[in-house]
């Protein structure tokens, strides 16, 4: 079964729960609400090869360490 994210893009996982959690983490990131990294870590604990979860985690790391706004 092929899964698609909320934007219609094919998902990198066949695990519905992992996909939903990735979507939740992206929403949490965009809303500055709660801890999206905790949600992503749960996905990776269950589905370590989920590329979307690794991408979201990398994006969170880049966002958290971006100092360009300090100038």
Whether the predicted pLDDT of 64 surpasses 90? no
In order, the DSSP letters of 4-70 are: B-TTSPBPS-S-HHHHHHHHHHHHHHHHT-S-HHHHHHHHHHH-TT-HHHHHHHHHHHHHHH--GGG
pLDDT of res. 43: 92
Q: Write the pLDDT tens digit of every residue in 21-57.
A: 989 988 888 887 788 899 999 999 999 999 989 999 9
Q: Are 33 and 39 within 8 A, CB to CB?
A: no
Using a cut of 0.85, tell me whether the model's pTM lies above it.
Answer: no
pLDDT of res. 54: 94
Whether the predicted pLDDT of 17 surpasses 70? yes
Q: Are 19 and 5 within 8 A, CB to CB?
A: yes
């Amino acid at each position: 079964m092929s899964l698609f994210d909320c934007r219609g893009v094919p998902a990198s996982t066949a695990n519905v729960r992992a996909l939903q959690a990735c979507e939740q983490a992206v929403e949490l990131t965009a809303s500055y609400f709660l801890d999206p990294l905790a949600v992503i870590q749960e996905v990776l604990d269950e589905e370590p090869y989920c590329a979307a979860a690794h991408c979201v985690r990398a994006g969170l790391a880049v966002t958290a360490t971006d100092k360009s706004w300090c100038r």
